[in-house]
Amino acid sequence: MDKNIKGAWILQHGQKLQATTNQDFDSISFAGKCGKFLSAISAESQEKISDKQLSALARANYISVRTDVPMIIEELKRQRLILPGVGGIEVLGVTGKEVLKFTATIFEESERESFEDAVIELSEATSDFPITETLAVDFISDTFKLSKADAHSTLLVGSNIGFFDTESISSSEKLIFNGNLFRREDARKISAVLSTLNAVETQNLSDVNARLNDTGCLPLNGIVKILGEKLFSQLHSIGMFDVNIVGNESGQNSFVTRPAAFSKFTNSIADDALDLAKALVASLTYGMTVSSYYRGRINAISLLMQKLIDGGTVGPATAIGSDYQALEYKGVVKVIPANGGMFRMRLLKPEVGRLALSVIQSGNITGEAVDNLPGAKVTSYTAPEVTREFCRKNSTEAVKLKTRNLLNEIRTGGLNK
């Protein structure tokens, strides 16, 4: 498997393990934390990070300062990614793709269990096409020299953690699939889903897809109004839509993107493994569509974003000091104090900015240039995979039955009709 792809799966699985007490996948967990922390503290150019900043970034990314950070720092030193300094460290310039490669390297150099390799390989296989549990057991048993009992146990524990999803398709068989199914535009997968819908649902879905293709990102309530809660839940649960949640003191706002919107500019899970571009797109869309006028609604963004991508800073503005905390936590932007209680902002990850800007510019939500980045306060961000898991866990039996049928159609491509 390509190292970028493997690193992306390790990061995604590592984040899921952080929400559990499971100790079976220790190598995935540690390598995932290393990659997540490296992403948070690094930029494309070499950066100095104080001990205080290290602790703050660790806490913001749910990494224990006492138990995790010392081991992670030692590993990053061993990989020659950081240099010790007085009162902090220096982090060598690292791109997002390099973060993924080092994450994979850390995992590969660990003393890991063979079933840890198995869940990564199976995750990639089922993100392309669902397979039956019988085939999955045979695949990981033969490939990783596991007994059939251990292979079954690996599938059960992996699906409980959320490495992949399962749906019963008969009394004796389950379907194994992955939420990254629609990350790449695939006419066969789309047509398989459409073949299960009635004429009204098909028309409504076509309408929603057209609007998202035009715009890139839209508020959730508008999408649900067109599709209805039941149909949206079905399509969301199998990964046809991504739901991104941004939050602040006023509450939470949800926005919908399509994985295919990003696949115009990327072609795998590796290109936005930590959902950083989605976080940036959702934050900017909030500023353009929801943020109140008195905060300074964003009317345009292209030239400002290009300035950031080119290495420039925006500001000074008072609002910058509080409005982009979610992006600060993830190491996407750096907020710099200026005079008079104002702040400037610099983009630490130009590749994330380029992907986000491409998605935004592919739609029609950009306009005339503005002088400063207006307020669009976002203090928290919930990624698509988290919202998709919540949707599946809380779906009704009727919705789960329809989901099962949709996945069966995707698996066969409608060829058995």
Let me know how long the chain is.
417
**What's the CA dihedral at 164, 148, 3, 353 to 10 degrees?**
0
Tell me whether residue 400 is in a domain.
no
Q: Residue 358: its pLDDT value, please?
A: 74
This model's pTM is above 0.75:
no
Same domain, yes or no: 258 and 301: yes
Same domain, yes or no: 196 and 319: yes
In terms of DSSP bridges, do strands 343-347 and 333-337 run parallel, antiparallel, or are they unpaired?
antiparallel
Q: Residue 326: its pLDDT value, please?
A: 77
Buried b (16+ CB within 10 A) or exposed e, 82-103: beeeeeebebbebebbbbbbbb
Same domain, yes or no: 93 and 141: no
Same domain, yes or no: 163 and 206: no
Q: Residue 186: its pLDDT value, please?
A: 57
The answer to whether residue 368 scores a pLDDT higher than 50 is: no
How many domains in the chain?
3
Same domain, yes or no: 369 and 269: yes
The answer to whether residue 181 scores a pLDDT higher than 70 is: no
Q: Residue 58: its pLDDT value, please?
A: 87
Same domain, yes or no: 241 and 298: yes
| 3-class SS of residue 336 | strand
Same domain, yes or no: 219 and 278: yes
By residue range, what is the domain housing residue 56? 3-112
Instruction: Tell which of 178, 204, 220 closes a domain.
Output: 178
Within 10 A of 387 (CB to CB), how many other CB atoms are there?
19
Q: Residue 118: its pLDDT value, please?
A: 94
Tell me whether residue 413 is in a domain.
no
Structure tokens at 124: 């990639």
Same domain, yes or no: 315 and 263: yes
Same domain, yes or no: 174 and 271: no
Lowest mean pLDDT segment, chosen from 33-37, 70-74, 220-224, 263-267: 263-267
Same domain, yes or no: 170 and 210: no
Same domain, yes or no: 211 and 160: no
Stretch 272-296: mean pLDDT = 61
Q: Residue 45: its pLDDT value, please?
A: 84
Same domain, yes or no: 193 and 265: yes
Tell me whether residue 409 is in a domain.
no
Q: What percent of the chain has pLDDT over 90?
A: 19
Q: Residue 147: its pLDDT value, please?
A: 92
